[in-house]
Amino acid sequence: MSELLLKLECVTAGYAEDIDVLSEVSLTVNRGEVSGLIGLNGAGKSTVVKTICGFLTPKSGSIEFMGEAIAGIAPHQLIDRGISYIPQESSLFPYLTVEENLLLPLQSRPKKFAHLIKERYEEVLDAFPVIRQRRSTQAGDLSGGQQKQVEFAKAWLQLPSLCLIDEPSIGLSPIMAEEVFVWIEKFSRAGMGILLIDHNVRRVVRMSDQVNVLSLGRITASGQREDFQGDLHEQVRQWLGLDF
C-alpha cells in the first residue's frame, strides 16, 4: 500500500474575503507517485499549489503533510519539512549566481545531509551542462529554458519528499520540455510524491498514477490513470462540463 504524503480535505480558499477560487477541494499525493491536476485556464490549479505552499491560508478544510497539519505555515518553513515547489514563473534571484541560487535553500540543512547534497550537486552538474558552464553567471542572464533547468536542479538538491510542479513545460521548446518530463519521472523514481500541473493533458494523464480534474474551483473527476485512458478529447470536455 502506498504511503500517503499529502492530503487536502474540503479545502476552500481565495484571494478576497468574499470570493472563493477553490471550493471544497480534496485530493491526495502518495510517496513515489505522480498525482496530476488538469483543468482549463482559470480553473484554480495554481491556487491549489499556492494554498498548499502557504501563500494562501484556507478559509476552511484541512491540509496535511505526512499526517501533520500544514495550512498557513510559511513557504520557507515547508522547504525544511521536505516540500519543494517549482513554480510556473521563475523563482530565482536574478542578481545571485546560478550556484548561489542552488545552494541558498540548503543553508539550514543538517550536516548529516552534506555528503548526499554534494553527490547530488555533482549529479546536477553532469545532467545539466549549462549549469556547470554558467554556475558563476547571474541567474537573470539565463534564458527561460536555462532557468527552468536551474529550478529543477534546485528542487533535486533540496531532498524533498514532496514536489509541487506548476506548468513545467510552458514556453519551452519540445526538446527542453521532454527533458523536464524526464526529470519529473526521475523525481518520482527517487521516491518523491509529485503534484503535477501542465497544459499537456495527454502527457499528464500518461505520467500520473492519480488524475484529478479541476473545473471552476471544484474537483469534478478523479481516479487512477486507467480511468482516464481512451478518447481524451471527449472525456475532458465531459469532465469540465463543456457543451459539445
How confident is the model over 110-160, as pLDDT tens digits? Answer: 677 778 778 888 888 887 888 899 999 999 999 888 999 999 999 988 889
Alpha-carbon distance values, 112 to 41, 54, 115, 118, 175 (Å): 43, 27, 7, 11, 37
* Residue 142: φ, ψ to 5°: -85, 155
Residue 230 has pLDDT above 60, yes or no: yes
pLDDT band at 244 (very low <50, low <70, confident <90, very high): very low
Mean pLDDT of 33-58: 92
Highest mean pLDDT among 38-42, 90-94, 109-113, 231-235: 90-94
Q: How far apart are CA 210 and CA 223, in angstroms?
A: 6
**201-229, pLDDT tens digit by residue?**
888 988 999 999 998 899 998 888 887 76
Mean pLDDT of 67-86: 90
Query: Residue ranges per domain, the chain?
Result: 1-82+160-244, 94-159
Of residues 106 and 172, more confidence is placed in: 172
pLDDT at position 37 is: 95
Rounded to the nearest integer, the mean pLDDT of the chain is 87
Residue 40 has pLDDT above 90, yes or no: no
**Cβ atoms within 10 Å, residue 213:** 24
Q: Are strands 193-197 and 34-38 parallel, antiparallel or unpaired?
A: parallel
Mean pLDDT of 51-73: 93
Superfamily of domain 1-82+160-244: P-loop containing nucleotide triphosphate hydrolases (3.40.50.300)
